[in-house]
A and B are shown apart, each in its own frame.
Chain A
Amino acid sequence: MTRLDTPLGDTEERLGQIIAFLPDPTMVVDRSGTIIAWNRAMEDLTGRSADEMVGQGDHAYALPFYGERRPVLVDVAMGAAPEAEQQYEALSRHGETVTAEVTLPGFRPGGAILWCKAAPLRDSQGRIVGAIESIRDVTEPRRARQRLQQSETEKRTILDAALEHVILQDRAMRIVWANTSAAESAGMSRDDLIGRHCYEIWGRRSDACPGCPVLPAIETDRPHECEQTTPDGRVWYLRGYPIKGPDGAVTGAVEMTREITGQKRREQALADSEARYRSLTDDVLDSSAVGIFILDAGFKVVWVNRSLERYFGLRREEIIGQDKRTLIRERIKHTFENPDRFADKVLATYDDNTYIENFLCHVLPSGDREDRWLEHWSQPIRSGLYAGGRIEHYTDVTDRVRAEENLKTFKDALENSTDAIGISTPQGVHYYQNETFTRMFGDIGNDPPSTIYVDHKVGREVFDAITSGQEWSGEVEMNGKDGNALSILLRAYPVKREGRTIAVVGVHTDITARKRAEAALAEKADELARSNADLQEFAYVASHDLQEPLRMVSSYVQLLEKRYADALDGEAREFIGYAAGGAKRMQTLINDLLQYSRVGTRGKPFAPTDCEALLEEVLSNLEVAITEAGARVTHDPLPRIMADEAQLARVFQNLVGNALKYCDGPPEIHVSAERRGGQWAFRVRDNGIGIDPDQRERIFVVFRRLHRQNEYSGTGVGLAISKRIVERHGGRIRVESEPGAGSTFIFTIPDRKDPSDGNEHDAEDEES
């Protein structure tokens, strides 16, 4: 303790003791600036002892702090060094007490900030006798506060720099603080925003926006978020965070708002783009008739369309994302007619994904999968998302393949035709010949078709006719393969497309053999004509030369009988009678034979013949015989037909005559006609003796009689002549009969058209 030489007396003593106890470093100086007290805390702060310092004057107290003698705050408090105020910060006065802070960079390593408080000391008269100064080391608190302030500044700067609007609101949603973005967005100064509500500024409304996240954040003490569209069309993303006070109670909220209009637009654009893409795949590619595989660079299936699903009998859910190579080996290849060929061809494209592959494959039917021909066409994908991958198209070419098969069938038919078929261009380049052609003419290469003609000129004429658009058919001579001339029936015609001749087709039928046969036939016909002439000659002989000697025999036998009857006995007369009878009979035979032979040679052209009138005439000729036999002859209406009237009359006469002849009671004869299948069937029915079934064919043979001469007269040529006549008319004759049950002779005559009157038959046809 230091004794003062001042009027403080024992006061000074007590003061010294008090100062010594003060926790803060404290010193006291007298009016002259001499240190009179330097307490222990000051000793600790400065490292200078009271013994060393007390009694020193001339600003010695500044030495530990500044390293030099200078006025300090005690001087300021005594009013002795106003200029010293400059070195202090935050200097303030409360009455005579001055407080200030000072930063002393050299006081300690790193410097120090000291808080100082000084006040003058006065004597009882109020005179300043000295001053007291307390010092507190506030280096750490001050530094901490500075750091805090720095951090605060940084945070505000960050918030201000944020693009989002940051708005701090109290529990009543009044704006407490807002960042620059918010102020700029509102178009107001930051200060103007304070105390207002965000809903009135941005939402232009008087209460919280629906869905506002701030209100629930305050109420629930949890963050909330939402999207809002403001009346100006902008879209916002809002988040509200509760802010708590020191007691943990929610004091307000911070609202972070980000405009997402652009993002929304991009999202919309993305959605649109996706929709377009989806439409492209779902509506366009999916509806394509071409089956499509899209593979990525790893040959995994990216996508297939519906046609492909249908063609392959696959479902895209099952295969998308799968390795196509595995799929081919395990599933796909078995879809095809030739699985290994398919697998080899397609897998090779993955091993060397650089080229276009194109081949035909045949899908076998199974379940929902149809029998189908597909054309595989694939190529590498060179750019974009799936660059390095591959796209495969499968086009349904079933119709084309079937058409080709049909074409092949036609070609086979062409190949197998018994006609030789050759095709050439309109310029005369022969390019197709079938097998028959080769067999017939050999391989003529591309030579013009005219070269196979025996006469090339004819060939060129035919060819010119066809190329000018006409058809040509006729017989020509052509050179066969072996150099022999062939008779060819040629039909040649142009094949046109849109009026233009595109090919020339020749169909050649070898008629050499037919011609030979025709020649043979002609020879036969000549022979027949000669034989016919012979027959005519015979007919003449029969009519003249045979009758001549016969007449001699007959005449002289009769003359003998006439002139010498009286001289002859009964036996001689009997003999002469036989001779005369025989001669007469022979003459009848000759006449009948003559008539028989003349049916063919003496026939007249067919003319319209009224059968009913004809029959009436025949019946009137037979009137005597009818009367003698006591017969009744009836008939149905008979038609008008084309016939040789005289010959037809003869048929009626023979048949009715036979019916009159071969009877054992009064004959009942009925004639009728019926049209059937383009023919008239005439029937002559009787109730006569009938004909044994065994004899039915025999009766139509010339001179074949069924009865002895003394039973029924006749030479047996009538039916043979009738048969020849009917056959000459193109009809048939037959008999239906039972012995004792009568006979019906049926003969047919084709219903020929009367060339002079075409309408009659038409009308008849309409009626029937």
Chain B
Amino acid sequence: MGTNTMLKTKSLEPSLARPAEILLVEDSPGDVRLMQEALKEGKVANRVHVVGDGVEAMAFLRRQGDFADVPRPDLILLDLNLPKKDGREVLAELKADDDLRRIPVVVLTTSRAEEDILKAYDLHANCYMTKPVDLGQFLNLVKEIEEYWLLMVRLPQE
């Protein structure tokens, strides 16, 4: 499934000399598409890498198998309900990984369940967001995630 899509971005205040690498872990094609649409409208040039399940996500991050040449993502957008290995396991694994744990992880899910929110933060998610049903709100949210994590916050350099 390793769809690797290069997206054209309009860079206003690039903090990176290169386009931002975003790993989207999402199994719903509808959501993938919506997210891509939303990120297209973003201020930061970015490349979105999409994986459809947790196993692929970890393979991507560890550059295993087909993912040997993939870049290290600057931001991970993680859905919780995933086939094979769900988002919580992915979160737990990568936050337990000395190398990967500093990559900001935004949990982006439809769940408003309190236990999911608690669990996500317990596993050191960097933030937890619920996908709005309204399209406008969704687009705004993605825009703000992008601006916040890619422009506003300072992240450690590689």
Residues of A within 8 A of B (CB): 539-540, 543-545, 547-548, 550-552, 554-556, 558-559, 562, 583-584, 587, 591, 594, 602
Contacts and interface: CB of A to CB of B under 8 A. Distances in A.
Given A555-B30, A558-B136, 9 more contacts: A543-B111, A544-B109, A544-B111, A544-B113, A552-B28, A554-B134, A556-B34, A558-B134, A591-B112
Given A544-B81, A548-B28, A555 B111 contact: no
Contact of B133 (A543, A545, A554, A602): A554
Interface string B30-62: 110010010000000000000000000000000
Contacts of B138: 555
A559 B139 CA distance: 10
Nearest to B112: A543
Given A540-B111, A543-B111, A544-B110, A552 B30 contact: yes
Interface residues of B, number: 21
Given A554-B134, A555-B135, A559-B37, A548 B110 contact: yes
B127 to A, nearest CB: 18
A481 to B, nearest CB: 55
A558 B135 contact: yes
Nearest to B136: A558
Interface of B: 28, 30-31, 34, 37, 80-81, 109-114, 116, 131-136, 138
Contacts of A554: 133-135
Contacts of B135: 554-555, 558-559, 562
Main secondary structure on chain A at its contact with chain B? Answer: helix
Residue with the highest number of chain A CB atoms closer than 10 Å, among B114, B131, B135: B135
A555 B113 contact: no
Contact of A584 (B37, B81, B113, B134): B134
Contact of A551 (B114, B116, B131): B131
B137 to A, nearest CB: 10
B117 to A, nearest CB: 11
A552 B30 CA distance: 7
21 contacts: A539-B113, A540-B111, A540-B113, A543-B112, A544-B113, A545-B81, A551-B110, A551-B131, A551-B132, A551-B133, A552-B31, A554-B134, A555-B133, A555-B135, A555-B138, A558-B134, A558-B136, A559-B135, A584-B133, A587-B133, A591-B112
Contacts of A555: 30, 34, 133, 135, 138
Give me the 4 closest cross-chain CB pairs, A-B, nearest first. A558-B135, A544-B111, A552-B30, A547-B110
Contacts of A594: 112
Given A550-B133, A554-B134, A558-B135, A602 B110 contact: no
Contacts of A539: 113
A562 B131 CA distance: 19
Nearest to A563: B37
A229 B150 CA distance: 154
Given A543-B112, A543-B113, A544-B109, A556 B30 contact: yes
Nearest to A548: B110
A602 B113 CA distance: 11
A543 B112 CA distance: 6
Contacts of B112: 543-544, 547, 591, 594
Contacts of B80: 544
Contacts of A602: 114
Nearest to B138: A555
A500 to B, nearest CB: 65
Residue with the highest number of chain A CB atoms closer than 10 Å, among B34, B37, B112, B116: B112
Contacts of B136: 558
Nearest to B37: A559
Contacts of A584: 133-134
Nearest to B81: A544
Contacts of B114: 602
A546 to B, nearest CB: 9
Contacts of A558: 134-136
A552 B131 CA distance: 11
A494 B112 CA distance: 64
Contacts of A562: 135
Nearest to A598: B114
B114 to A, nearest CB: 7
A642 B113 CA distance: 27
Contacts of A540: 111, 113
A584 B114 CA distance: 22
B42 to A, nearest CB: 16
A556 B34 CA distance: 8
Contacts of A556: 30, 34
Given A555-B34, A556-B30, A583 B133 contact: yes
B112 to A, nearest CB: 5
A551 B132 CA distance: 8
Nearest to B115: A540
Nearest to B79: A548
B79 to A, nearest CB: 10
A311 B52 CA distance: 111
Contacts of B28: 548, 552
A551 B31 CA distance: 9
A87 B140 CA distance: 204
B51 to A, nearest CB: 18
Nearest to A555: B135
Contacts of A559: 34, 37, 135
A89 B149 CA distance: 199
